[in-house]
Amino acid sequence: MAKLLYVLIFLAIFYIYIGGMYDLVEKPLTIGSDQNNNPLLIFPGGTDRQFLLEGIVAGLLMFVGFGGLFLLDNAAKDPHDTQRAWKLMTVATVIVILAFLTLQRMLDVKQGNA
């Protein structure tokens, strides 16, 4: 029963992070295109609008970053196998940094700085 509650809480948080409430209110486009009909994943020209897929990708990247933080926490809790802990900490740090840099890149593209 507790696992079901955790899954429901996880799904509710994920729904909020992908912009679920925004999607209910605004009815966003799934994906857009530029003047040459090339597909766009990120809605250009400001942070007040988003494509449906943009919100899903950003939410997934946030949860990947949280997964890295979870791995970091688990690595710090195992003092007996230091080699495994260092490997886990290295992988977790790389995951967190990559997720952060990717989200920053998405924000730069969204604001027109790229």
pLDDT tens, residue by residue, 60-87 = 999 999 999 989 988 888 778 888 889 9
Which two tokens mark 22? 């925004």
Q: How confident is the model at residue 89 (pLDDT cuts 50, 70, 90)?
A: very high
Q: 102 to each of 76, 84, 91, 96, how far by Cα in Å?
A: 25, 27, 16, 10
User: What residue spans define the domains of the chain?
Assistant: 2-110
Residues 41, 28, 39, CA angle at the centre, nearest 5°?
Answer: 25
* Residue 114 reports pLDDT greater than 70: no
User: How far out from the chain centre does Cα 29 lie?
Assistant: 19
Say what the pTM is. Answer: 0.81
Q: CA 40 to CA 22: how far, in whole Å?
A: 19
